Amino acid sequence: MPQITFNQAKEFLNNITSKDVIAIIHHDDGDGFCAGILYYDWCKSKNAQAQQFTYEIGRTKLKNIDLEKFNKFIVTDIASNLIAEDLELIKQKQVLYADHHPRDTPIPKEILELVTTDQGYLPSSRTAGELTNLKPWLSLIGTITDAGELYPENQNFIDKNLKKINTTLDKFKQNISSVVTNFLTYFDKDFPKAFEILQQINSIEEVSKLKQYSEPVENEVQKFVEEYEAKKEKLDDINYYYFEPHYSIKVEVAGIISRKNPNNIYIFASPKNDGKDISFSARGQSKKLDMAELLKAGTNGLKDTNAGGHKAAAGALIQSKDLEQFKQNIKNFQNSTP
């Protein structure tokens, strides 16, 4: 089916009933979790049966899930190039696919596809909040964790919701969105537990309950931020930083460091899957170089890889044995770019 409109997506949600059994599949970052919870809460408000699944890039496969018991699916915040193959398995069901990543891989035509890229950079949790009108503060959290404040198209949305809770963007980041990001990092090996806890937070004031999980993660984040200057490496014009944290804090570290010097380009790397793989987060807030294209070039010719994301921020995964070739690919890409 052709791409659908916001109102058609709203109609899909309004038509959910107590007879439906719905799978909600969302990305494993703050934006994905917040969007997933908003859709989950909506389904519950319609007395439908709902079950969530956290989609971990490079690990989750829908073929390993019992799909037959679900008659409807809501898939959100997962780039098409990462999930197109999996969507083939559910294309005969009723599927709402709501996403904000660039489209470089087509998905099955049978699926209802709500794409917001023509409006700019609208994080999936913002769209979920506007579709459901539930927990506007949670929609704001997801938007900020996905760096939505860097894009002018989100300014009115952010300002309106900050005014509702009488706070500033800086205070919100410090006391709310960073706490949620660290909380999710703390539970990165038990995402169902993370979803259960966060879904039961019912007000912005209750976010403080998550600080017990956030604080040990925050301490480690600050440790590696402080070590960055001494241990970074140059891949021609790109700042490369490899580190081995206890928690999966690469995205948090990347965000803090890259915002200090937004004209620079960064690749942050850390081991994953017990050291078998290496995952990357690339940041280029100036957008003078496309981060998704950069990491795709880095993985060119390598086996068992994936890469994708946005112009200003992207991620990738390779086998550890291929690290030196990845670095060389990054250098080659810079030399070939005008």
Q: Are residues 55 and 194 in the same domain?
A: yes
Asked if residue 265 and residue 199 are part of one domain, the reply reads no
Same domain assignment for residues 202 and 236: no
Residue 58 and residue 149 in one domain: yes
Residues 65-120: tens digit of each pLDDT: 889 999 999 999 999 988 999 999 999 999 999 999 988 788 999 999 999 999 99
In a shared domain, residues 180 and 137: yes
For residues 174 and 237, state if they share a domain: no
Mean pLDDT of 306-317: 89
In this structure, are 97 and 182 located in the same domain?
yes
Which among 27, 23, 36 is positioned nearest to 89, based on CA atoms?
Answer: 23
C-alpha torsion 210→211→217→218, nearest 10: 130
Residues 201 and 63 in one domain: yes
The CATH number given to whatever domain includes residue 242 is 3.10.310.40
Average pLDDT of the segment spanning 201-215: 96
Question: Does residue 226 sit within a domain?
Answer: no
User: Which residue shows structure tokens 């038990």?
Assistant: 190
Q: How many domains does the chain have?
A: 2
Residue 319 lies in a domain: yes
Q: Residue 236 above 90 pLDDT? A: yes
State how far the Cα of 286 lies from the Cα of 208, in Å rounded to an integer: 33
CATH code: domain of residue 75: 3.90.1640.30
Question: What pLDDT, on the 0 to 100 scale, is given for residue 338?
Answer: 63
* pLDDT tens digits, 158-205: 999 999 999 999 999 999 999 999 999 999 889 999 999 999 999 999
From CA 201, how far away is CA 194, in angstroms rounded? 11
The CA-atom distances, in angstroms, between 95 and each of 87, 122, 221, 254, 317 are 9, 21, 38, 34, 28
What six digits make up the tokens of 146? 């996905």
CB-count burial class (<10 Å; 0-12, 13-18, 19+) for 19? exposed
The domain in which residue 295 lies consists of 232-336
In a domain, 237, yes or no: yes
